[in-house]
Amino acid sequence: TASEPLLEVRDLEAWYGESHVLHGVSLDVREGETITILGRNGAGKTTTLRSIIGIVRKRKGVITLRGQDLLALPQHKVARAGLGYVPEERGIFASLSVDENLSLPPKIADGGMSIADIYRIFPNLEERRNSPGTKLSGGEQQMLAIARILRTGARVLLLDEPTEGLAPVIVQRIGELIRTLKTQGYTIVLVEQNFRFAAKLADRFFVMEDGRVVDTFATTELSARMGSLHEYLGV
Ligand code: ATP
């Protein structure tokens, strides 16, 4: 049914070597929904995304996509299942042009977005199509990183702090872009420190602290949660 989670994480634990970082993360996203993971630096937000996608291999718990167990899959098969990850450091090819960056990712799942469609929703990237990655602004690099993931055919997008370090006007552009993807039915997991930005996009919030989800609420409850959020986030 429509209310069943598309992606579900239950009691996820994760380690870097001997260092136990996640202590039981549970969250879920329904198809077409946008959720936001909030939390202070070091709370485990990035590690949660890296564990879902399989970069962090030392994990325990349950991660399913459409009921399929992701924990058992090698990383390339997770991508093929339709999950795409845009890391905070963006991961574009700096020496290659926008066009080349968009031509490289293989179509690893069905329904990868065409370059023409990419340029329709990222007109500024088309203007810069022959520029190398190094010449792009931070906002353009972020958009290119997202565009590359759309090329792969991923329908579930894990975005790690896409607004980090960007000017307010660019943050707004990224917000419009995420809203466009949402209307196109993409399912989005957004890690974000800026909850005012996230409030305009997210359906629900999950708050992390010390490697656990300590609170979850619908965006409609955000204003009522401001007090406890300030406590969790130290803002
Ligand atoms: P930030 O906003 O700073 O990225 P975060 O909530 O995403 O914070 P994580 O990056 O997931 O937090 O970090 C969770 C914990 O894991 C922190 O204590 C961090 O120091 C530790 N950690 C992160 N990466 C590694 C690593 N490669 N090796 C060892 N420990 C790490």
Q: 186-201 pLDDT, tens per residue? A: 999 999 988 888 999 9
pLDDT at 229: 85
User: How many Å lie between the centroid of ligand 1 and the Cα of residue 29?
Assistant: 23
Q: Of 31, 182, 162, 192, which is closest to residue 121 (Cα–Cα)?
A: 182
* Mean pLDDT of all residues in 212-230: 91
Pocket test for ligand 1, best of 38, 40, 46 (most atoms within 8 A of CB): 46
Q: Which atom of ligand 1 sits closest to the CA of residue 43?
A: 6
Gap between the terminal Cα atoms of the chain: 39
Report the C-alpha dihedral over residues 152, 27, 215, 192, rounded to 10 degrees: -10
pLDDT in tens, 88-136: 878 788 889 999 999 876 666 667 899 999 999 999 999 999 999 889 9
Entry pTM? 0.94
User: How many Å lie between the centroid of ligand 1 and the Cα of residue 18?
Assistant: 14
Q: What percent of the chain lies above the pLDDT cut of 70?
A: 96
pLDDT in tens, 24-51: 999 999 999 999 999 999 999 999 999 9
- Cβ atoms within 10 A of the Cβ of 66, count? 13
| Beta-carbon contacts of residue 189 (< 8 Å; ≥ 6 apart) | 7, 29, 34, 35, 37, 49, 52, 156, 157, 158, 159
Question: How do strand 187-191 and strand 156-160 relate by DSSP bridges?
Answer: parallel
pLDDT at 120: 94
Sheet containing 68-69: give its strands across. Answer: 19-30, 5-16, 59-65, 68-69
Sign of the Cα pseudo-torsion (32, 166, 125, 77, in order): negative
User: How many Å lie between the centroid of ligand 1 and the Cα of residue 226?
Assistant: 25
Q: Of 184, 224, 232, 191, which is closest to residue 45 (Cα–Cα)?
A: 191
User: How many Å lie between the centroid of ligand 1 and the Cα of residue 97?
Assistant: 31
User: How many Å lie between the centroid of ligand 1 and the Cα of residue 191?
Assistant: 13
pLDDT confidence bin for 235, thresholds 50/70/90: low
Whose alpha carbon is nearest atom 31 of ligand 1?
16
Q: Which atom of ligand 1 sits closest to the CA of residue 40?
A: 6
Angle between helices 138-151 and 168-183 (to 10 degrees): 20
Measure Cα distances from 53 to 49, 50, 102, 120 in Å: 6, 5, 21, 28
pLDDT confidence bin for 75, thresholds 50/70/90: confident
Give the pocket of ligand 1 (CB within 6 Å): 16, 19, 21, 39, 41-47
Whose alpha carbon is nearest atom 26 of ligand 1?
16
Q: What is the ipTM of this complex?
A: 0.95
Sign of the Cα pseudo-torsion (35, 74, 152, 112, in order): negative
Phi, psi of 95 (to 5 degrees): -85, -10
d(CA 54, CA 76) in angstroms, rounded, equals 9
Q: Of 35, 32, 9, 24, which is closest to residue 159 (Cα–Cα)?
A: 35
pLDDT confidence bin for 228, thresholds 50/70/90: confident
More confident residue, 179 or 195: 179
Whose alpha carbon is nearest atom 11 of ligand 1?
44
pLDDT at 112: 86
pLDDT at 83: 94
58-62, 97-101, 222-226, range with the lowest pLDDT: 222-226
Report the C-alpha dihedral over residues 82, 205, 23, 76, rounded to 10 degrees: 10
CB-based contact 163:192 (threshold 8 Å): yes
Pocket test for ligand 1, best of 12, 15, 16, 21 (most atoms within 8 A of CB): 21
Mean pLDDT of the chain: 91
